[in-house]
Amino acid sequence: MTSSHRGARRVVVTWPNFDLGTGSAGASLVAAGLQVVLEPKTGLRTPEEVIAIMDGAQAAIVSTDPFTERVLHALPDLRVLARVGVGTDSIDLKAATSCGVLVTTTPDANYRMVADHVLAMMLALVRRLPENDASIRAGNWDRAGSLTPRDLGTMTVGLLGFGRIGRAVAARLAPFGPRLLASDPQGVPADAGAQGVDLETLARCSDILSVHVPLTEHTRGIVSASFIERLPPGAVLINASRGGIVDEAALAAALERGHLAGAGLDVFEQEPPTGSRLLGLPQVILSPHIGGLSHESIAEMTRQAAQSVLIALQGREPVGAVNPEAMASWTDPPVHPVAVEGNG
């Protein structure tokens, strides 16, 4: 680490509505003598914009800003990227490691919220609440007609991905009694409450498909046009994982021609999804990537992210470090030796 890093005490925060009040995560950074600069991400942000707002920063607490290889190489002072959440698909981890930038996440802070959000979308779609709401507002009273709901307990729910969130969704669904299928590269334990199947079976049998895999080179576009076509007629698709996993053009086409009955989307290929055909479809529920958010989960995630910054700037490895090997290039003494209790 060069001497220029020692004098840098700037932490840029792109997480929106970051709290700097007394007792907050932000207050802990200020109390440690760090300069906190708020640059909330509220829409699309280009790599050039990221370079401009991060210039001279030693640490950052970030949302889904694009930290590409070019961005990371343009920020020689940067040492810590604390991601609020668990997704790192917007960060080039290989480039971060080679540039000596430690990336951290906030594990276990919000997976229950995502599972709750998925269940809420699932029930709303099965019960056709958005369409019935719109119908009443239009002056109709359509009982036992074209907007009649289905019974969740008679349906088959397919979980694409059976990690922490997928298992939490399965646990919430169990009392409703649907048949539960799951497909995961790591396998599905026999006592997990869901039957492990391959992708072909998952597609053919899922009246409701819920996506719970991270966005990687292997999962990008995995819910393709052909996958969607294999879903049963009248199926429902929910994605609260990452945009890019589902082919949104194929999804829109399947909804428009009636092959799928509905969709619930918390994430999109482009966020916000300006101009998407999905915006005009009444059988689609949309939310602004808030599946993992609640007042409580935000407080915990930002607390963990702030602690990760403080601990890492002492030269120690925080809980949630994704690429701790990046710290091997930190040859100078700790750059900001503040007193921090615990380990994030």
Active site residues: 242, 271, 289
Q: At what angle do helices 164-173 and 111-126 cross, to 10 degrees?
A: 50
In which residue are the tokens 């940067």 written? Answer: 78
CB 178 within 8 A of CB 155: yes
State how far the alpha carbon of 304 is from the alpha carbons of 46, 168, 253, 289, in Å.
Answer: 26, 22, 41, 20
Q: At what angle do helices 111-126 and 129-137 cross, to 10 degrees?
A: 50
69 three-class SS: helix
Q: Indicate the burial class of 213 (C-beta count within 10 angstroms; 0-12, 13-18, 19 or more).
A: buried
- H runs (alpha helix) in the chain: 3-7, 25-31, 47-54, 69-73, 93-98, 111-126, 129-137, 164-173, 199-205, 225-230, 248-256, 295-312
CA 307 to chain centre: 21
Give the separation between CA 70 and CA 227, rounded to whole angstroms.
34
State how far the alpha carbon of 209 is from the alpha carbons of 86, 161, 232, in Å.
Answer: 22, 11, 10
Strand partners, 284: 263
Give the separation between CA 259 and CA 257, rounded to whole angstroms.
6
State how far the alpha carbon of 261 is from the alpha carbons of 31, 210, 212, 244, in Å.
Answer: 53, 14, 20, 21
Give the separation between CA 188 and CA 158, rounded to whole angstroms.
12
Give the separation between CA 224 and CA 228, rounded to whole angstroms.
6
